[in-house]
Structure 1
Amino acid sequence: MTRADAQMTTPPPPGAAAPARGAQHALQGLASVDWTWAILGLFGVLWLWHLSSVALSPPADNIEQLTWVRSLQWGYYKHPPLPTWALWAFVQVAGWSAWSSYLLGALCTLASLALYAALLREMYGRHYALVGLLAALCITFYNGRLYYYNHNTALTLWVAASAWLWWRILTRPQLRWWLALGVVAAAGMLSKYQYAVTALCGLWLFARHGLWRDPLQRRGLVLAVAVALALVLPHALWLLQQERGPIAYAMQSSLGAQLGPVERLTASTKWLADWLLNRCLPALLLLVAVWWAQRRLAAPGARLPPSAGPQHAAQTAERGASVLLCWGLLPPLFMAAMGVLGGVDLQLQWGTAFAMWTVPALMAWLRLREEALAVRRVLVLGGVFFVLLQALLVWQSYDSSAFGRHRPRSPHWREFASEELALAVAGPARQALGGPISIIRGPATVSGVVALWLPEQPRVLIDGNLAVSPWIAPGEPERLGVLNLWPPGTGPEDAHRVRGGWGWSVQVGTGADPASH
């Protein structure tokens, strides 16, 4: 036996080698844990608690969905129906409240980020995915708006699911992926018509990689299109019968803006700058910090651990890069082109569903790599910088709220004291009506938020228009009575005024007790 063999077979001294080896194994096991769900869970709890504590009123989009959820329809006057259907199902379990919308909005966003992280991990490895996830969590669409629930939030989930499915279609072609893509595409279109941008991304991948040459892939595309069309057909038929539907709303609010040549270029440039240098700026700062750490702490020649990611063939790696770059670059470029060429008034929130996919494009530009990111000091620095950025974002959110010292000059909706208005109006209005408040008529957002504070959970008659309020039947306002809300400076002279100049009046019902409805 050689001396080396003897050293290998000699038992370690008690309390020395064995514990060291055990600690080493423990560290290796800790490093192999996928922290995605823990990070997302902690992130979600902290941000939801913070956002709910500094907002005097829920987001206007949440209120809109909670107003519409009172009736299941094939569509609503501003948007397709799926987000409202999903909230209706959630409300049956969690109850009709602002928190139901907060939780569902957060679940949609966090599930999207989980799919995004899983895709990065499968393509490049767990350290790459961890850095990509931390960077995406710095995008202000996903932290400061985590409690939002609207059509953009729902679309985010279907965009992420589509990317995940296209990766499988490109690398493991099976008809079941195409079937799932058809369902997801229908869900996307029933959430927001902007999903058409995602469909164009998919068609670009189909042509870019020559999938039309493969009979299986051709059949799959036909299957996906057929499934999507079948699922969207009822909504499409409903849409054709509407004079005031989502298409008309889109044309009036943005698509039909017809901006002039200078305005087009200016607005589109501003929109792109807001995307990258405002919404994504904290993510870009984090990635630059990690890039610096990679160069300094994992420079060429340093001893790096082998890649933890799967070893793909050249074609598979190319297709993976195509999916990420396609999702990260084509949507903003396509929408900017709509602004420049079509005169569309681009809305800043249109980047919600796609912004996270900008991160892999930035990581590719900075040449971040799994082997370097696996170096512990690089990850630690990235983690510390992430915590600092999140603390800064929370502080900025608090400081610009109704409780902070630097409130914005123009009042923000979350600073609207809706509970005070509801309490000031509710008691006298019940006495005037002779019973509970069943219907509120007035500006949609204010009426909806007042309804949330009242135990009767009254329904909202949007702008007094039954055509866009299908949850209220003709004749009900006259029979049950109505509470009218008047913005400051409007309404009849005999309207009762409360704090902030808001006024109220009632239309007394002629029928049975509203509580029996």
Structure 2
Amino acid sequence: MTAAVSIPASLSAPRDDGLLSLPAALLAACLTVAAWVVLAACMNHSQLHDSLEQFVWGQSLEWGYWKHPPLTSWLMWGALKVLGPTPFATYVLGAVLTMATIACTVRLAQLLAGREVAVLTALLLVLHYGLTRRAQVYNHNTVLLACSAAMALAVLHAVRADRRRDWLLAGLAAGLAMLAKYQAVVPIAGALLAIVLAGDARRRLPGVLLATAVALALFLPHVVWTMQRGFETVHYATSYMNGPGAHGGGRSLGVLAMQLKYFLPAIGFALLLWAAAGRGRPAAAAAPWPAEQRAWVAGLVLLPVLVLAGAVAAGVRVQSHWGLQATQFLLVPAAMLLHRRFGPWGRRHAWVWLAVQALALGIYVAQGAGGLHEPRHARDVRNVDAADISRQVLAQWQASTRCELRYLSGPVALAGMVSAYSHRTLRVLEDGDSRKSPWIDRDDMRARGFIALREQASGEPAPGEVVLPLAGAAPQASPRFLVLELHLPAQPC
């Protein structure tokens, strides 16, 4: 005789107790991103280095910039044309592209695993710090994530439909991803691996070749530009292969720690959901994932993670933010596993999600208000009162000449900060180096005059210089000062 087992209703198989629709889940995710970005814009006195860099590079349309391919700066150029010279352009771009990353990833999850998994994916993605805390940052990784998600979605569509227009779109997305950052070669290789593992390689070869031709045609002008410039972007990328500090376990642990930090809210959500469901709940019989799901998880998740691990093992000076792309699709299989274990999104999921999101936001606010310590890089200028510094710089110029200030020269973050928060178009010669800012007309710059900026630890000015304190910069670091050297116009204004 088989004993009957009574399972409490709270622990029984999941039931529909108020499921979210997919549009509602996407809307909630996008509103969450917007809330994080608006909060950051209100709390920050300045911005991170990479965002400020784009106020310099976004001043001109080029086929490349000395460190990276051009797409990120093209988008910044467009934003500045539409929004005008405002420091909020980077926040707008960061938010919009993060939302695009989420939308494409959620649609990918829907195609691979269905609507209920897509709902879970949407809400899990905004429990990832890379898409919430870092949504305020606009840099090449921001654009890479969006382009990689769009590329993966376009390739899956093309594989399913096998129409010429879909393969053309997939090639366009892949080409744009490469124009965002060279690291895009990894998710592109992952998509190709997925096609092979799913057993579609031979039938889809004509479409793959068409997409490859489109991507190469789009990328070719940048390749020509790079050759004309002596492959400087390639040299910058490969400088991480054997630079100082390339070896040692410390950096590897730092990269791993940063990835775990990004996933902390999502991990907390899963643990709280498990606790709320009850540890005694019987697990459902696990059916194997379909071949297509396994292929795409291998291509988009396992391959990038293995490449990142291999780079660390090879002694590459891996930057912690490289893990953003390497793990960007990880929450799709995570959502599939959570759906299998806890069922579709219900009220229990919602309450746990709200609690974790509120805690994450609370920690961020406490750190911004100084209530909790947050380690920051010495170059971090988020606490500098950028608007006040910009006013002081303009006041020094206006006290010396009636001519309008049009040019700055100096480090990209400081000069970009002054340019952005001056609410006017101040063109920047990065580090005083024409190779880094070839669009700057040096003769016109000398004729109209400019301010050269630099940073120093001492508050003592040299003759002909003005020194301004960078109050609030990296509180744990030594005091820092902004030095102004005014080069007045060589001709009447």
TM over 0.5: yes
- Cα 1:169–1:318 shift into 2, 3 Å: farther
Give, as a single letter, the amino acid of the residue that structure 1 aligns with 2:488: V
* CA–CA distance in structure 1, aligned partners of residues 48 and 325 of structure 2: 18
Which position in structure 2 is the counterpart of 1:156? Answer: 145
The secondary structure found in structure 2 opposite 1:369 is: helix
| Residue range with higher mean Cα deviation, 454-463 or 228-237 | 454-463
Counterpart of 2:252 (choices 237, 256, 268) is 268
State yes or no: 1:404 paired with 2:370.
Answer: yes
The secondary structure found in structure 1 opposite 2:136 is: coil
State yes or no: 1:205 paired with 2:194.
Answer: yes
- Cα 1:219–1:258 shift into 2, 3 Å: farther
* CA–CA distance in structure 2, aligned partners of residues 444 and 224 of structure 1: 37
Structure 2 unmatched ranges of 5 or more: 1-15, 471-480
* CA–CA distance in structure 2, aligned partners of residues 146 and 247 of structure 1: 27
State yes or no: 1:34 paired with 2:23.
Answer: yes
* CA–CA distance in structure 1, aligned partners of residues 146 and 208 of structure 2: 21
Which position in structure 2 is the counterpart of 1:468? Answer: 436
Once the two structures are superposed, the pairs formed by residues 32-71 of structure 1 within 5 Å of their partners are: 32=21, 34-71=23-60
Give, as a single letter, the amino acid of the residue that structure 2 aligns with 1:400: Q
Counterpart of 2:221 (choices 231, 234, 237) is 234
Counterpart of 1:245 (choices 220, 232, 239) is 232
* CA–CA distance in structure 1, aligned partners of residues 340 and 111 of structure 2: 12
* CA–CA distance in structure 2, aligned partners of residues 128 and 291 of structure 1: 17
CA shift for structure 1 position 98:
1.9
Counterpart of 2:317 (choices 340, 345, 352) is 345
| Residue range with higher mean Cα deviation, 232-241 or 115-124 | 115-124
Which position in structure 2 is the counterpart of 1:395? Answer: 362
State yes or no: 1:486 paired with 2:454.
Answer: yes
- Cα 1:459–1:320 shift into 2, 3 Å: same
- Cα 1:356–1:134 shift into 2, 3 Å: farther
Which position in structure 1 is the counterpart of 2:474? Answer: none
Which position in structure 1 is the counterpart of 2:339? Answer: 369
* CA–CA distance in structure 1, aligned partners of residues 423 and 163 of structure 2: 52
Counterpart of 1:441 (choices 409, 412, 430) is 409
The secondary structure found in structure 1 opposite 2:137 is: coil
Rg bigger for which structure?
A: 1
Which position in structure 2 is the counterpart of 1:141? Answer: 130
Give, as a single letter, the amino acid of the residue that structure 2 aligns with 1:389: V
CA shift for structure 1 position 425:
2.4
State yes or no: 1:181 paired with 2:162.
Answer: no
State yes or no: 1:280 paired with 2:263.
Answer: yes
Which position in structure 2 is the counterpart of 1:322? Answer: 295
- Cα 1:436–1:466 shift into 2, 3 Å: same
- Cα 1:32–1:228 shift into 2, 3 Å: closer
Which position in structure 2 is the counterpart of 1:416? Answer: 384
Give, as a single letter, the amino acid of the residue that structure 1 aligns with 2:320: L
8 Å contact 1:451–1:457 — kept in the other structure? yes
- Cα 1:324–1:212 shift into 2, 3 Å: closer
Give, as a single letter, the amino acid of the residue that structure 2 aligns with 1:237: V
8 Å contact 1:170–1:319 — kept in the other structure? no
CA shift for structure 1 position 510:
1.1
CA shift for structure 1 position 479:
0.4
8 Å contact 2:22–2:119 — kept in the other structure? no
- In the TM superposition, what whole-angstrom CA distance separates every residue of 1:38-62 from its partner, at most 9, and x where no partner exists? 2133213311221011111022222
Which position in structure 1 is the counterpart of 2:393? Answer: 425
CA shift for structure 1 position 271:
1.8
The secondary structure found in structure 2 opposite 1:413 is: coil
Counterpart of 1:508 (choices 472, 488, 493) is 488
> TM-score, with normalisation over the residues of structure 1?
0.82
8 Å contact 1:201–1:327 — kept in the other structure? yes
- In the TM superposition, what whole-angstrom CA distance separates every residue of 1:203-242 from its partner, at most 9, and x where no partner exists? 322332333332xx11111111111111111110000011
* CA–CA distance in structure 1, aligned partners of residues 121 and 489 of structure 2: 58
8 Å contact 2:155–2:191 — kept in the other structure? yes
- In the TM superposition, what whole-angstrom CA distance separates every residue of 1:435-480 from its partner, at most 9, and x where no partner exists? 2211111221111111122244211111111221123113122101
* CA–CA distance in structure 2, aligned partners of residues 441 and 260 of structure 1: 31
8 Å contact 1:127–1:370 — kept in the other structure? no
Which position in structure 1 is the counterpart of 2:349? Answer: 382
- In the TM superposition, what whole-angstrom CA distance separates every residue of 1:397-438 from its partner, at most 9, and x where no partner exists? 22222x332344656421122222222222122222332211
* CA–CA distance in structure 1, aligned partners of residues 342 and 374 of structure 2: 42
Give, as a single letter, the amino acid of the residue that structure 2 aligns with 1:97: T
CA shift for structure 1 position 298:
7.0
8 Å contact 1:480–1:509 — kept in the other structure? yes
The secondary structure found in structure 1 opposite 2:429 is: strand
| Residue range with higher mean Cα deviation, 36-45 or 185-194 | 36-45
- In the TM superposition, what whole-angstrom CA distance separates every residue of 1:299-357 from its partner, at most 9, and x where no partner exists? 5689xxxxxxxxxx999x3212321343122212212202212x210001112234331
CA shift for structure 1 position 188:
0.5
* Sequence identity (%): 26
CA shift for structure 1 position 151:
0.9
* CA–CA distance in structure 2, aligned partners of residues 325 and 207 of structure 1: 11
8 Å contact 1:77–1:244 — kept in the other structure? no
- Cα 1:184–1:32 shift into 2, 3 Å: closer
- Cα 1:59–1:439 shift into 2, 3 Å: same
CA shift for structure 1 position 108:
0.7
- In the TM superposition, what whole-angstrom CA distance separates every residue of 1:484-508 from its partner, at most 9, and x where no partner exists? 2231247744312223432212111
Higher helix share: 1
State yes or no: 1:119 paired with 2:103.
Answer: no
- Cα 1:179–1:473 shift into 2, 3 Å: same
8 Å contact 1:64–1:448 — kept in the other structure? yes
Counterpart of 1:224 (choices 186, 200, 211) is 211
8 Å contact 1:135–1:287 — kept in the other structure? no
* CA–CA distance in structure 2, aligned partners of residues 107 and 371 of structure 1: 33
Q: How many residues align?
A: 463
State yes or no: 1:90 paired with 2:76.
Answer: no
Aligned-residue CA RMSD (Å)? 2.7
8 Å contact 2:284–2:341 — kept in the other structure? no
CA shift for structure 1 position 363:
4.1
